[in-house]
Amino acid sequence: MHAELAALAAELRARAELLDDRDWSALTLPSPASGRGDEPSSSPPLPPAGEGGVRVPEELARLAAEVEACRKCPLGATRLKPAFGVGSPTAQVMFVGEGPGYEEDRQGEPFVGKAGQLLDKILASVGLSRQAVYIANVVKCHPMVDASQPDKRGNDRPPTPDEMAACRGYLEAQIRLIRPKVLVALGSTAAKCLLATEDGVGRLRGRWHDFAGTPLLVTYHPAALLRDETYKRPVWEDMKTLMRTLEAG
Ligand code: SF4
């Protein structure tokens, strides 16, 4: 009986959590014709993935194996599993976050903790999924406050500039191979890495940037939404901008 009550309580908690996030599913996307003119205008169309005979899935697998063996920065010595990237090798949208945390370090996949579950909901709200997009981080190994305690929760920190510089080549190679139509930087660390800026998300979001010819949008990291619900609305606006651009072709 105790087990049944516990299961019921868990289900009710899960439902309440979903209702908390109903903003994502209750809001509807505007039609492509209702755009505010905020589509990127300066970047030329990108060639399709795999152009030039490059076999993208094989090249990504080769790169992932390289990352698996990488010790170019100290993070490689303390991480459990690198979180290389996940999603479609022909994705139109590539999301870039900061770095793996506790759960990602164990599962070897980006955005699988609480922030990742929220990202899944955000994607679903605009008809996307983890399988349809590509998700990666600026560093592939877990940056820890105290690297001697990999089993400690809440031991995450942003990567240092040196760590980001050491790992940057892998991210650039992923972008070159996948050739997404649009990049989305999740949070200020990813934005700083990709745009070489010191500006925060508040100043960078709401307009298009350019990363080596690929239009780039900046929005808040899902972890920021977990800390502060007021970020939910601007992220929703950013997702609408993203979808308008995708729908416009
Ligand atoms: S974070 Fe990047 S550069 Fe550093 S060890 Fe891991 S894969 Fe290599």
State mean pLDDT over 164-174.
Answer: 98
Q: Look at the alpha carbons of 48, 51, 54, 55 in this order and tell me if their dihedral is positive or negative.
A: positive
What is the per-residue pLDDT across 44-84, written as a single tens digit (0 to 9) for each?
A: 333 444 455 679 999 999 999 999 999 999 999 999 999 99
Does 163 map to a domain? yes
User: For residue 32, what is the DSSP state?
Assistant: G
Pocket of ligand 1 (CB under 6 A): 67, 70-73, 75-76, 82, 139-141, 163, 166-167
Closest CA to 125 of 234, 245, 240, 244: 240
Domains of the chain: total: 1
Mutate to test the pocket of ligand 1, among 66, 71, 81, 156 (most ligand atoms within 8 A of CB): 71
Instruction: Provide the residue range defining the domain that includes 231.
Output: 55-247
- The pLDDT value given to residue 35: 34
What is the per-residue pLDDT across 193-245, written as a single tens digit (0 to 9) for each?
A: 999 999 999 999 999 999 999 999 999 999 999 999 999 999 999 999 999 99
The answer to whether the CB of 217 falls within 8 A of the CB of 242 is yes
Does 11 map to a domain? no
CA of 162 to the centre of ligand 1 (A): 10
Does 204 map to a domain? yes
Does 18 map to a domain? no
Does 6 map to a domain? no
Does 218 map to a domain? yes
Does 124 map to a domain? yes
State mean pLDDT over 96-106.
Answer: 97
What is the per-residue pLDDT across 7-23, written as a single tens digit (0 to 9) for each?
A: 434 433 433 343 344 45
Mutate to test the pocket of ligand 1, among 80, 140, 162, 170 (most ligand atoms within 8 A of CB): 140
Q: Is 128 exposed, middle or buried (0-12, 13-18, 19+ CB in 10 A)?
A: buried
Q: How far apart are CA 206 and CA 234, in angstroms?
A: 8
Instruction: Go through the chain and tell me how many residues it has.
Output: 249
User: For residue 156, what is the DSSP state?
Assistant: B
What is the per-residue pLDDT across 106-142, written as a single tens digit (0 to 9) for each?
A: 999 999 999 999 999 999 999 999 999 999 999 999 9
Which atom of ligand 1 is found nearest the CA of 67?
A: 7
Q: What is the CATH number of the domain that holds 157?
A: 3.40.470.10
- The pLDDT value given to residue 131: 97
More confident residue, 184 or 29: 184
Does 162 map to a domain? yes
Tell me if the pTM is above 0.75.
yes
Query: Which residue's CA lies nearest to atom 3 of ligand 1?
Result: 167
